[in-house]
């Protein structure tokens, strides 16, 4: 059996709105899944929205209460060097990967929702039966994704993400461009959550999402399990299971347009 290939796509945005504070990738949400995938024997490529150096949220690399996955990541010179010079998503062939994983960090709220390349990549992966996974603010990358039948990818799909309550708890409700939980609900998602900052994962078919940084490893574990169960399927079968036409044209949707249309 061929080794599974995972594409991790991070934010390239480094400023927290008009606050004057820095943001970017929340490192645990990359580090924990990265080691889960690597330790499972998978090939892992890290890309970013714009390419180049990945901005790290300063709060995610502090020494206090540093998770083991983050400590291991920071001590690995090879993987840290990858974050200094990542390829842009647009330069890669996303179809070459068995799963696309979107870690969060508040930066995702600015550069992921309206990106057409990301929207096409995750929508096509989902329609073809490959794994699409995201954690915390990573589901911002699902907001603009439209399936081949013209419906929002998240419509009528069970999922989770960083909640409105968690955004309020970190004091950033008025700093982000929109509230992620609210936007996903507007798009027709069946939003589920646990109490703030408790690990929580939702899997709906080949869509896997986690609520917060504390859910990072569990999301990755769910991806590994899903890939272990996967088998090659013809496009017609995938289309039937996804409730779409195999020959429907791929569409894109402006990220800020709310929709209550549910996928079948």
Query: Across the chain, what does the average pLDDT equal?
Result: 90
On whether residue 238 sits in a domain, the answer given is yes
Q: Any residues with CB less than 8 A from the CB of 109 and at least 6 apart, and which?
A: 13, 137, 140, 176, 177, 178, 180
Question: Which pLDDT does position 63 carry in this prediction?
Answer: 84
pLDDT digits (tens, 9 = 90+) for 10-49: 999 999 999 999 999 999 999 999 999 999 999 999 999 9
Question: Lowest mean pLDDT: which of 103-117, 125-139, 192-206, 248-262?
Answer: 248-262
Assess contact for 49 and 89: CB atoms under 8 A: yes
Assign 238 a pLDDT band (cuts: 50, 70, 90).
low
Question: Which pLDDT does position 159 carry in this prediction?
Answer: 98
**Burial of residue 86, with CB atoms counted within 10 A of its CB: 0-12 exposed, 13-18 middle, 19 or more buried:** buried
CATH number at residue 156: 3.40.50.880
The whole-model pTM stands at: 0.88
Q: Any residues with CB less than 8 A from the CB of 17 and at least 6 apart, and which?
A: 110, 175, 176, 177
On whether residue 102 sits in a domain, the answer given is yes
Assess contact for 24 and 13: CB atoms under 8 A: yes
- Per-residue tokens: 82: 């990858």
On whether residue 208 sits in a domain, the answer given is yes
pLDDT digits (tens, 9 = 90+) for 90-103: 999 999 999 999 99
Rounded to the nearest 10 degrees, what angle do helices 116-127 and 235-242 cross at? Answer: 100
On whether residue 257 sits in a domain, the answer given is no
Number of structural domains in the chain: 1
Question: Which pLDDT does position 43 carry in this prediction?
Answer: 98
Question: Lowest mean pLDDT: which of 112-116, 162-166, 227-231?
Answer: 227-231
On whether residue 159 sits in a domain, the answer given is yes
Q: Return phi, psi of residue 14, to 5°.
A: -120, 5
Rounded to the nearest 10 degrees, what angle do helices 216-229 and 28-39 cross at? Answer: 30
> What pairs with residue 88 in β-bridges?
48
Q: Which domain holds residue 143?
A: 5-242
- Percent of the chain beyond pLDDT 90? 84
Assess contact for 15 and 112: CB atoms under 8 A: no
CA distance 14 to 93: 25
Q: Comparing C-alpha atoms, which of 33, 35, 45 is closest to residue 6? A: 45
On whether residue 260 sits in a domain, the answer given is no
- Per-residue tokens: 154: 């998240």
């Amino acid at each position: 059996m061929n080794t599974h290939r995972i594409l991790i796509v991070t934010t390239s945005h480094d400023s927290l709105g008009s606050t004057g504070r820095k943001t970017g990738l929340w490192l645990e949400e990359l580090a924990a899944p990265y080691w889960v995938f690597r330790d499972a024997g998978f090939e892992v490529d890290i890309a970013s929205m714009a390419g180049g150096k990945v901005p790290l949220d300063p709060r995610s690399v502090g020494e206090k209460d540093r998770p083991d996955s983050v400590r291991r990541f920071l001590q690995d010179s090879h993987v840290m060097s990858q974050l200094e010079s990542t390829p842009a998503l647009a330069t890669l062939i996303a179809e070459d990967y068995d799963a696309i994983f979107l870690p969060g960090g508040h930066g995702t709220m600015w550069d992921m929702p309206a990106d057409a390349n990301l929207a096409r990549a995750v929508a096509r992966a989902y329609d073809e039966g490959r794994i699409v996974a995201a954690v915390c603010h990573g589901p911002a990358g699902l907001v603009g994704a439209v399936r081949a039948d013209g419906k929002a990818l998240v419509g009528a799909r069970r999922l989770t993400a960083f909640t409105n309550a968690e955004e309020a708890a970190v004091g950033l409700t008025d700093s982000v461009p929109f509230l992620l939980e609210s936007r996903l609900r507007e798009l027709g998602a069946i939003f589920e959550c646990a109490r703030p900052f408790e690990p929580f994962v939702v899997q709906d078919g080949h869509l896997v999402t986690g609520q917060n940084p504390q859910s990072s490893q569990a999301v990755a574990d769910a991806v590994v399990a899903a890939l272990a169960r996967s088998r090659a399927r013809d496009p017609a079968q995938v289309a039937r299971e996804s409730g779409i036409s195999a020959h429907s044209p791929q569409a894109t949707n402006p990220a800020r347009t709310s929709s209550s249309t549910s996928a079948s």
